[in-house]
Amino acid sequence: MTKEYKPFLQKAFRGVVRDILADVARNGLSGESHYFITFQTNREDVVIPDFVRAKYPEEISIILQNQFSNLIAGPDSFSVDLAFGGVMSTLVVPYTALKVFADPAAQFMLSFEPEEAREKKSAVSRESAGNTDIIDLTRLRTGK
């Protein structure tokens, strides 16, 4: 069995997003940088207003550019105040809910496979692996 490296990369890239957001929280946006962030809204650990979740039941993309405040990059999630339909709201987004993080000004983008989706996919893979006939080739070669 080979080592699965994708989870390690995903975790490292989420750390990159955390560090970028922490820098923005401390120093503000630099130059033309602005961030498109797409994340899952259908998770219990994502905090968004109910009317936003009703309009975007699976995922939403937000832009951190001119009109955001109180950005906090915590160890496991970030929070930010944004206006939706003129109503200022605080969002709390775990890094594991991220799908895309992009800075178009820098031509930089990271894509994520949300953790829950990856876990379900692995469970399906394990389940289907259990339903297949596996032939041990060493037995065929050695005749045992």
Q: For 63-95, how does the pLDDT look when each residue is reduced to its tens digit (9 = 90+)? A: 999 889 999 999 999 999 999 888 899 999 999
Number of domains in the chain: 1
Helix (H) or strand (E) holding 100: strand 98-103
Q: For 116-139, how does the pLDDT look when each residue is reduced to its tens digit (9 = 90+)? A: 644 444 444 444 444 444 444 444
Q: pLDDT class for 2, splitting at 50, 70, 90?
A: confident
Q: Is residue 81 part of a domain?
A: yes
- Round the average pLDDT of the chain to a whole number and report it: 84
End-to-end CA distance of the chain: 22
Q: Which domain holds residue 14?
A: 6-114
Q: pLDDT class for 140, splitting at 50, 70, 90?
A: very low
Per the CB < 8 A criterion, the answer to whether 7 and 15 are in contact is no
Residues counted in the chain: 144
pLDDT of 126 reads 42
Question: What is the residue whose two structure tokens read 């041990």?
Answer: 136
Q: Is residue 144 part of a domain?
A: no
Say how far apart CA 13 and CA 141 lie, in whole Å.
44
Per the CB < 8 A criterion, the answer to whether 80 and 71 are in contact is yes
Q: Is residue 17 part of a domain?
A: yes
Say how far apart CA 73 and CA 10 lie, in whole Å.
17
pLDDT of 70 reads 96
Question: What CATH number is associated with residue 97?
Answer: 2.30.30.220
Q: Is residue 128 part of a domain?
A: no
